[in-house]
Structures are given as C-alpha cells and as structure tokens.
Structure 1
Amino acid sequence: MKNIYLTYIAATCAVVIAGGAATCKAQTLVTQKSLSTEAALIVAQGALDKCHADGYRVSLTILDNSGLVKLQVRGDGTGPHTLEHSRRKAYTALTFKRASGETAKAWAAATTPPPVIEGTVGAQGGVPIKAGSEFIGAVGVSGAPGGEKDEACAVAGIAKIADLLK
C-alpha cells in the first residue's frame, strides 16, 4: 500500500513539474519602450523654455509609462499648488490616454458623473507622450494663466524629442 501511495505522489509531482515547464516555455518577455531620463530632461527644458519665452512661471511633472514621477520641477516664483497640479494633469493624460483638457471636456459633456480616479483632475495642461502607438509617459504643466497655455508648453516640450518618438 505504501508503494502505491509513493508511486501516486511521484506521478502527481511529475505531471505538475512537466505542466509548469510547459507553461514557462509558453511565456515570453515583454518588450516595451520607455522614456529615458535624458529624453525627460529635454522635454522639461523645452516646456520650460516655451513658458518662459511667453512670460509664464510654471511647474511641471513628467511621468513614466507606469505613472511614476520621472522628473518634477517647481518653477521659480510659482504657487505651492502648481507642482502637485502638474502631476495630476500628467496622470490624467496618462490614465485616459489623451490630453487632460480633452478629458475635462468629456467629463463636462457627460450626462453621468465622471469616474472617481484618485490623482486625476479635469484641467487642461497634461499631454501623453507616445512612441509610435505606445504610451510611454506624460507631461503636465501648471502655472500659466490658463490651461491652454500650460498645454502649449507641454506640447512644445514633447516636440523637442519628436524624432525619438517615431
């Protein structure tokens, strides 16, 4: 009886191990594009240059494709809220895969309340960063006198790495 029980356990273990090995062979590594630190710095400088040229003091946040902060800059002379607001704009753009201003318009036009997603905001100034069809991050700008001006700065920053995003 003991030998039958041990044989059963050994056979079960062999099936489990073989099944696990087959599963491992079926899986592959995920390859994805990501925003480098150097590219994030270029985007930030481009956005800041545009806003400074237009006379605006802003803060900005750049997020990676997982929604984590890659880079944040609190601009000289900006209000204390601008840094967090820029992060929320970027997070909204990344979450909904469109400019945060487009999301704000969609929420305003909806007949039902907008979804409650912690960290999102219905304000213009966040823009997703795409490499081809893949979303690799987002930039949010806050502090200019109007969200459309914040968004223009974000777009100008992304334009600085346009050749990398093709």
Structure 2
Amino acid sequence: MTRFLPAFIAACTLGGSAAWAGADDAFVEFRSLKPEVALQMAQAAMDSCKEQGFQVGVTVVDKSGVPQVYLRHRFAGSHVYETSYRKAWTAVSFRTNTTDLAATTQAGMPASGIRELSLALPLGGGMMVQDGDGALVAGIGVSGAPGGDADDLCAQAGIDAIADAIAF
C-alpha cells in the first residue's frame, strides 16, 4: 500500500487542482446599475422628499461605494453632500440599512467601533439596493429631511421607482 501512496497523492493533487482552477478563474462578475437607472432612482427619491416639503441631497453609490449620482435640491444645506454619500457608502460597506446599523452600533454594543471609522455614518437614510435575486447592486443615501425615518422613506421611494427594472 505504501508504494502506491505517492502515486495516489499525486493523482489527488492534480485532480484537485484541475477542479479548483476551473471553479475559480481570474475574473469576478457582478451587477451594477446603469447610470441612467441610478439617476432615475436618485430623482425619484428627491421628488418624494420635495413633495413632502423637504430639501435634500441624494447620493447613489455602486456596490463598492463609489458614487454614481449626486442630486441636491437648490435650497438644501451644504452638509447634505457629505452625509448622503456617507450614508450610501455605509449601507453598501456593511450590507445593512443605516437605520438598522444605528441601533447595533450604540455605545456598549459589540459593533460600536464602527462609529469610529471615518466614513461610516449609522444614521437613517442609507439603504442597500438589491436586485431580484437579493444581490447588492447599489446603495442610496438621503440627507436633509427632518430625521432619518423621513430620509428612509424618500430613499425607499427611489428604490421603488426602479424596482421593476432591477427585478428578474
């Protein structure tokens, strides 16, 4: 048996590496929103807030947190650029809507250290955008409404506006 062991190990190693190479090539494929769809979502979120009398900024980021679209109501404060971007970035980075993250990162919670990161902003208004299969395709951040719950409603209106386009 021991004389066949080296040949057996070599056969297993070669067979295993061939299977491994076929299953894991050099490329990663993923979905990302077209700029036109990201713009449509941002506009719908802005319009929803505007209808409620809120002056906001809206940022859409891709699944890596890179900005795709930024819209700002002409009377929104200058802070909405940074906060809407950071909310969208936080949602995609932690794969969690920021309202949920706000609760789990409170002082004394195991994830409270997230609040020490320079870009993380666990305040309501940042939401993940998922396709029909549940895969993360973007994030949206809204800032400027009176409270994170109102920002969330506007962000959700943006997502709802493109739901048919991203569902399978």
TM-score (norm 2): 0.79
Q: Distance in 2 between matches of 1:83 and 1:72?
A: 8
Contact map agreement 2:91 2:139 (CA 8 A) in 1: yes
TM-aligned CA deviation for residue 78 of structure 1: 1.0
- SS of the residue 2:45 aligns to: helix
Q: Structure 1 residues 104, 29: closer, same or farther in 2, change over 3 A?
A: same
Work out the number of aligned pairs and report it: 146
Equivalent residue for 2:148?
Answer: 147
- Residue 96 of structure 1 corresponds to which residue in structure 2? 94
The percentage of counterpart residues that share the same residue type is 34
Q: Cα deviations across residues 31-77 of structure 1 (Å, max 9, x unaligned)?
A: 21111111101101110110011010000110011110001112211
Amino acid at match of 1:124: G
Contact 2:64–2:93 (CA under 8 A) maintained in structure 1: no
2:159 equivalent to 1:161: no
User: 2:43 maps to what in 1?
Assistant: 45
Q: What does 1:56-135 align with in structure 2 at a 5 Å threshold?
A: 56-108=54-106, 110-112=108-110, 113-115=112-114, 116-131=116-131, 132-135=133-136
Q: What letter is aligned with 1:164?
A: A
Change (3 A) 1:27 1:108: same
User: In structure 1, which of residues 5, 28, 31 is the aligned counterpart of residue 29 of structure 2?
Assistant: 31
**CA shift for structure 1 position 164:** 2.1
Aligned partners of 2:47 and 2:25: how far apart in 1? 45
Alignment partners' CA distance in 2, 1:25 and 1:146: 47
- Cα 1:124/1:143, change in 2 over 3 Å: same
Q: Distance in 1 between matches of 2:30 and 2:21?
A: 22
Structure 2 unaligned segments of length 5 or more: list them.
1-16
Tell me the residue number matched to 1:9: none
Q: Secondary structure at the match of 1:38?
A: helix
Structure exhibiting the larger radius of gyration computed from Cα positions: 1
Q: Distance in 1 between matches of 2:44 and 2:23?
A: 45
